Amino acid sequence: MEDRDLMEKELLVIKGVCDLYLHGSLESTTAEVHSAFQDALRESLNIQNKLYNLMAEKGWYKTEEAEKQKIDTTKQKYANICC
């Protein structure tokens, strides 16, 4: 298996882990459990960021810039939704 394939799989796994830790943090019933999930989430997000940056450096994670018109349309769509 190529390095790129391995890193893509690692990135997918760590994104899933981040999702689990986020929900664990949201649903935790005690301060101690909440803190443990938050710490684990923070560390997982750091790992995810490092993987992403490494893949982007190598040109393995390509992003496209959104069209300004689409951004403006989306902003207008959600402009009136407020707390």
As to burial, measured by CB atoms within 10 angstroms (0-12 exposed, 13-18 middle, 19+ buried), residue 7 is middle
Residue 64 in any domain: the answer is: yes
Domain extent at residue 20: 3-78
User: Crossing angle for the helix pair 3-27 and 31-57, nearest 10 degrees?
Assistant: 160
Residue 83 in any domain: the answer is: no
Span 17-53, pLDDT tens digits: 999 999 999 999 999 999 999 999 999 999 999 999 9
Domain count, the chain: 1
Span 53-68, pLDDT tens digits: 999 999 998 888 889 9
Evaluate if pTM is beyond 0.85: no
